[in-house]
């Protein structure tokens, strides 16, 4: 059993309808994932990719990750070190990909308020988002324990790797 996923970091704010082309621009598809990640979200916030620090959190509006099925959109965020996304809703395929790549993506209908440098904390187990800078808290949909385990392991493939290794030890 791994630690329940709680992520805390600086907030990066985005609006509605941030699509997969903005997250993983098609023109960089042929290059490395690292190069792709360095262009992640640059058309909406050029400061994002160079400025992100491991553990930071994305706070967005409705339909985050809408668009194509490309897994790279979620992967790019994890490469930059983003640990959690809080949004009003998600593109369905992006949501699957995010969790499978170990990104704690939670849904909250609350009007969460944060300024760019505020520190946020996301608790996927109980379903709570806290602005550590202002002390305010909001509810979010909790994530079931076995998916939190998968996220904590770094995603679907690493978590399977861990499970299979554990079986062999037995």
Which residues bind to other proteins, rule: CB under 8 A?
A: 66, 69, 71, 91-93, 95-97, 99-101, 141, 143-144, 146-147, 155-157, 160-161, 164
Residue where the block lists tokens 């998968």: 150
| Closest to 149 in 3D by CA, of 93, 85, 86, 104 | 104
Nearer to other proteins, 34 or 141 (CB): 141
Q: How far is CA 97 from CA 65, 94, 107, 138, in A?
A: 10, 5, 15, 25
Nearer to other proteins, 12 or 90 (CB): 90
Closest approach of other proteins to the CB of residue 82, in Å: 18
Closest approach of other proteins to the CB of residue 45, in Å: 23
* C-alpha span between 110 and 112 (Å, rounded): 6
Nearer to other proteins, 17 or 45 (CB): 17
């Amino acid at each position: 059993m791994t630690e329940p996923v709680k992520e805390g970091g600086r907030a990066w704010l985005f609006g509605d309808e941030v699509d997969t082309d903005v997250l993983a621009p098609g023109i960089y598809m042929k290059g490395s994932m690292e190069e792709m990640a360095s262009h992640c979200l640059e058309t909406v916030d050029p400061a994002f990719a160079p400025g992100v620090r491991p553990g930071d959190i994305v706070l967005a509006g409705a339909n985050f990750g809408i668009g194509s099925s490309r897994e790279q959109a979620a992967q790019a965020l994890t490469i930059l070190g983003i640990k959690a996304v809080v949004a009003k809703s998600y593109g369905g395929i992006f949501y699957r990909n995010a969790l499978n790549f170990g990104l704690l993506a939670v849904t909250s209908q609350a009007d969460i308020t944060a300024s760019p440098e505020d520190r946020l904390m996301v608790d996927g187990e109980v379903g709570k988002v806290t602005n550590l800078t202002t002390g305010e808290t909001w509810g979010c949909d909790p994530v079931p324990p076995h998916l939190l385990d998968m996220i904590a392991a770094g995603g679907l493939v690493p978590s399977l790797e861990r499970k299979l290794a554990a079986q062999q030890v037995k």
